[in-house]
Amino acid sequence: MSATAEGPVLDIRGLRVTFTGGARPVRAVDDVSLAIARGEVVALLGESGSGKSVTLRSVLRLHPPRKTRIEGTIRVDGTDVMTLEGAALAAFRGKGASMIFQEPMLALDPVYSVGDQIVEAILRHERMSRAQARQRALEWFEHVRIPSPERRLEAYPHEMSGGMRQRAMIALALACNPKLLLADEPTTALDATVQVQILLLLRELQRELGLSMLFVTHDIGVAVEVADRIAVMYAGRIVEIGSVRDVIRTPRHPYTAGLLATRAHGGRLSGNRLPAIAGSPPDLANLPPGCAFAPRCGHAGESCMHEAPPVVAIGAGHEARCVLLKTAA
Amino acid sequence: MAALLEVRGLVKNFPVRTDLFGRVKSFVSAVDEVDFDLHEGETLGVVGESGCGKSTTARLLLHLIEPTAGTIRFEGRTVGTAELPWKAFRRQVQMVFQDSYASLNPRLTVAESIAFGPMVHGLSRREAEARANALLERVGLEPNRIAGRFTHELSGGQRQRVNIARALALHPRVLVLDEAVSALDKSVEAQVLNLLLDLKEEFRLTYLFISHDLEVVRFMATRVLVMYLGRVAELGPTEALYTGSRHPYTTALLGSLLSMDPDRRTDAAPISGDPPNPIDPPAGCRFHTRCASAEPVCAARHPALTVLGGGHAVACHMSEPGSGHSRAAGRAA
């Protein structure tokens, strides 16, 4: 155990996830490697079908095993997640790593009070009495700033507002002090004024507790608010990774650059046309042989259509998967 | 300038609880006393959080649900009367919904979906299908490849283009776009927004553009209407409103926009809590429970929509002369 103290909390290497349930196998995640240091927040940014949520769910092994082929390794604080089975896997979920979902209404059980659900989770992982677990649940409710927490522990999910439910889910996810927090678009279903509150809460808790976090989002603005580093995914691959500043200010992959340019931010483009990325994301069951972005890329050359692009290091910790960067370097 | 569309005193209450004998006990006040004009050629953006009544307003406008009260006038004629029956009105005003999949019939091909409306309104099948093909071309879809397909065979962006083509099939003058790009990925959203701008110029359309995305509304709209819990909070020209909002709710909403700048992260939430339940909403100003500047008058009385000049109007006691709020001006001279 001591050997892992200095290592990354999350270490994903060569992750490849293929769904085999349909007519044709779908390669949802391809050759993803990612490490998260202790106390670090990495945002996994991408559009629908980019593989960001599939990557996240793989860490908890949430994919149905009979219809999914997972290759590569995932280690959380030294534990090889791929080899966990049965009781060991159940013990890992919630304690080794836990997850906040997009829709707390669907993630929470509607027939138990929120307090009971947190107590159950704590008792599953910790050796303590029900009264002690209840006390810990109350402390977490105070921590995530739920007003009148004692009364709220008795509430059922449908009796809470959207923002309150998301706070309760954060309390549930953190109740057993997991080593790694996974967040799957936790603010996407919330209104703007509530989203800011939840983002600020997550950031505060992260700092206070030194949480390591993998945060999946489709919203660049959200990624900028919470993350230390951003990994941009497209068609199952990480196409660019770097510090938030590097990726936002000097994006090097044409997809990242296009995504940033296409945002109507601050009214600067009002009345003009947006510089849109043409086309739509590729079919994952039928990926082009070369760079998956090439058919939509304004800079694509002949080689982009045939060769898988290499990972090119651009600066300290800044990498992108693009042939053009190689010739420039 | 006379308005193309005038909405006055629009009210919708949904019954939510009935007693043992089916008598209604309480209501959701979804839309309450909403007035606005839509001018020819403009894009009026409607913003607000979930439950603020923006989608209900759109549905009331097209009479997809029965209003509790209120009138709608189109070019001076009252809609739903002998002056202008609903069917004739709907030729002029069409709608695009958020869920591109649910709003198309899965048993019809793309061409049949688009041709359906014109056929109901009297075109022959051949004419209607020719029109469908022309419109598909216009919204950036190849008729040869797309016309015969079913909706589940299309991507989200393609489906929303089909919905736009269908909305245009009757040559309407107004499009009501209810979160029309919200379900799309950012890279596809930009394409559809550009398409909407092109179509607006080409067919000289007027848009009512409803969205929860303040950046998108700023990009699209000439004027913006801000709603909160069923009421109009503020209304004004887009840039005046975005740079000089007067309603504390508008200011909070704009303050919730994320900066996109790693060196200027948000450090405090502009308001706390969630919007209250629209069942039995707060008395007086509906925002007073979350407003930092609220005073007793705010809980007692609903603020009137006060015109500030330049087409900017706000429903706030602080901007209403003589309202009794300490920050309001004295009684108007």
- Contacting residues of B for A278, CB less than 8 Å apart: 191
CA–CA distance, B73 with A239 (Å, rounded to integer): 53
The residues, ordered by sequence, that sit 6+ positions from A325 with a Cβ below 8 Å of its Cβ are A252, A253, A312, A314
Q: What is the pLDDT of residue B1?
A: 57
CA–CA distance, B332 with B23 (Å, rounded to integer): 45
Residue A35 has pLDDT above 50, yes or no: yes
% of chain B beyond a pLDDT of 90: 80
Overall average pLDDT of the A59-83 stretch: 95
A314 and A242 in contact (C-beta within 8 Å)?
A: yes
* Pick among A161, A164, A197, A293 to test the B interface (most B CBs inside 10 A): A197
CA–CA distance, A297 with A290 (Å, rounded to integer): 12
Extended strands (E) in A130-275: 180-184, 212-217, 229-234, 237-243
Residue A4 has pLDDT above 60, yes or no: no
C-alpha closest to that of B309 among B218, B238, B236, B243? B236
Q: How many Å lie between the alpha carbon of B46 and the closest alpha carbon of chain A?
A: 15
Overall average pLDDT of the B178-200 stretch: 93
Picking from B185, B198, B266, the nearest residue to A196 by CB comes out as B266
Q: How many Å lie between the alpha carbon of B273 and the closest alpha carbon of chain A?
A: 7
At residue B285, φ and ψ (nearest 5 deg) are -70, 130
ipTM above 0.90, yes or no: no
Residue B73 pLDDT level (bands cut at 50, 70, 90): very high
Which residue of chain A is at minimal alpha-carbon distance from B191?
Answer: A276
A234 and A292 in contact (C-beta within 8 Å)?
A: yes
Residue A232 has pLDDT above 60, yes or no: yes
Q: Which of A32-36, A325-329, B23-27, B223-227 has the lowest mean pLDDT?
A: A325-329
Picking from B267, B270, B274, the nearest residue to A161 by CB comes out as B274
Residue B25 pLDDT level (bands cut at 50, 70, 90): confident
- Contacting residues of B for A244, CB less than 8 Å apart: 262
The pair of structure tokens assigned to A212 is: 């390591």
Query: Each residue of B118-137: b (16+ CB within 10 Å) or e?
Result: bbeeebeeeebbbbbbebbe
Residue B134 has pLDDT above 50, yes or no: yes
Q: CB A224 to CB B260 under 8 A?
A: yes
Q: Is B212 on the interface with A (CB under 8 A)?
A: yes
Q: How many Å lie between the alpha carbon of B44 and the closest alpha carbon of chain A?
A: 14
Q: What is the pLDDT of residue B275?
A: 84
| DSSP result, B88-147 | HHHHHEEEE-S-TTTTS-TTSBHHHHHHHHHHHTT--HHHHHHHHHHHHHHTT--HHHHT
Q: CB B269 to CB A193 under 8 A?
A: yes
CA distances from B198 to B114, B176, B201, B210 (A): 20, 16, 5, 18
Helix (H, G, I), strand (E, B) or coil at A166: helix
Residues B82-122 pLDDT 10s: 999 999 999 999 999 998 889 999 999 999 999 999 999 99
Q: What is the pLDDT of residue B274?
A: 84
Residue A97 has pLDDT above 70, yes or no: yes
Q: What is the pLDDT of residue B217?
A: 95
Residue A3 has pLDDT above 50, yes or no: no
Residue A189 pLDDT level (bands cut at 50, 70, 90): confident
User: Judged by CB atoms within 8 Å, which residues 152-181 of B form the interface with A?
Assistant: 155, 157-158
Residue A2 has pLDDT above 60, yes or no: no
Q: Structure pTM?
A: 0.91
Q: What is the pLDDT of residue A1?
A: 42
Q: CB B155 to CB A280 under 8 A?
A: yes
- Contacting residues of B for A270, CB less than 8 Å apart: 218-219, 238-239
CA torsion A44→A46→B259→A107, rounded to 10°? Answer: -70
- Contacting residues of B for A200, CB less than 8 Å apart: 266-269
- Contacting residues of B for A195, CB less than 8 Å apart: 256
Residue B142 pLDDT level (bands cut at 50, 70, 90): very high
In this predicted model, which residue has the larger pLDDT, B28 or A18?
A18
Q: What is the pLDDT of residue B332?
A: 47
Q: Is B186 on the interface with A (CB under 8 A)?
A: yes
* Pick among A48, A193, A293, A297 to test the B interface (most B CBs inside 10 A): A193
The residues, ordered by sequence, that sit 6+ positions from B85 with a Cβ below 8 Å of its Cβ are none
User: Judged by CB atoms within 8 Å, which residues 249-268 of B form the interface with A?
Assistant: 252-253, 255-263, 265-268
Within a 10 A sphere around the Cβ of A40, how many other Cβ atoms? Answer: 19
Picking from A197, A218, A277, the nearest residue to B272 by CB comes out as A197
Q: How many Å lie between the alpha carbon of B315 and the closest alpha carbon of chain A?
A: 20
Residue A182 has pLDDT above 70, yes or no: yes
Which residue of chain A is at minimal alpha-carbon distance from B183?
Answer: A48
Q: CB B186 to CB A200 under 8 A?
A: no
* Pick among B250, B266, B277, B290 to test the A interface (most A CBs inside 10 A): B266
Overall average pLDDT of the A301-319 stretch: 92
Residue B193 has pLDDT above 90, yes or no: yes
Q: CB B214 to CB A192 under 8 A?
A: yes
CA distances from B277 to A78, B16, B56, B141, B298 (A): 47, 12, 16, 43, 18
Q: How many Å lie between the alpha carbon of A249 and the closest alpha carbon of chain B?
A: 9
Residue A5 has pLDDT above 90, yes or no: no
Overall average pLDDT of the B199-213 stretch: 96
Picking from A48, A195, A270, the nearest residue to B256 by CB comes out as A195
Q: CB B212 to CB A270 under 8 A?
A: no
Residue B34 pLDDT level (bands cut at 50, 70, 90): very high
Averaged pLDDT score across all residues of chain A: 92
Picking from B49, B194, B259, the nearest residue to A276 by CB comes out as B194
Picking from A245, A263, A278, the nearest residue to B215 by CB comes out as A263
Q: What is the pLDDT of residue B333?
A: 38
Domains of chain A: 2-96+178-266+273-328 (3.40.50.300)
Count of A-B CB contacts under 8 Å: 126
Q: CB B261 to CB A48 under 8 A?
A: no
In this predicted model, which residue has the larger pLDDT, B238 or A329?
B238
Q: Is B190 on the interface with A (CB under 8 A)?
A: yes
The residues, ordered by sequence, that sit 6+ positions from A293 with a Cβ below 8 Å of its Cβ are A234, A235, A239, A253, A254, A255, A300
- Contacting residues of A for B187, CB less than 8 Å apart: 47, 258-259, 262, 276-277, 280-281
The end-to-end CA distance of chain B, in Å, is 28
Q: CB B274 to CB A164 under 8 A?
A: yes
Picking from B50, B191, B270, the nearest residue to A191 by CB comes out as B50
Element (H, E) at A153: helix A149-153
Q: Which of A204-208, A272-276, B9-13, B136-140 has the lowest mean pLDDT?
A: A272-276
% of chain A beyond a pLDDT of 90: 80
Overall average pLDDT of the A62-71 stretch: 94
User: Judged by CB atoms within 8 Å, which residues 264-303 of B form the interface with A?
Assistant: 265-275, 277
At residue A202, φ and ψ (nearest 5 deg) are -60, -40
In this predicted model, which residue has the larger pLDDT, A134 or B183?
A134
* Pick among B16, B98, B101, B188 to test the A interface (most A CBs inside 10 A): B188
Q: How many Å lie between the alpha carbon of A93 and the closest alpha carbon of chain B?
A: 31
Q: What is the pLDDT of residue A270?
A: 66
Q: Which of A238-252, A272-286, B233-247 has the lowest mean pLDDT?
A: A272-286
**Strand order from edge to edge, sheet including B312-314:** B93-96, B174-178, B206-210, B43-47, B223-228, B231-237, B312-314, B306-309
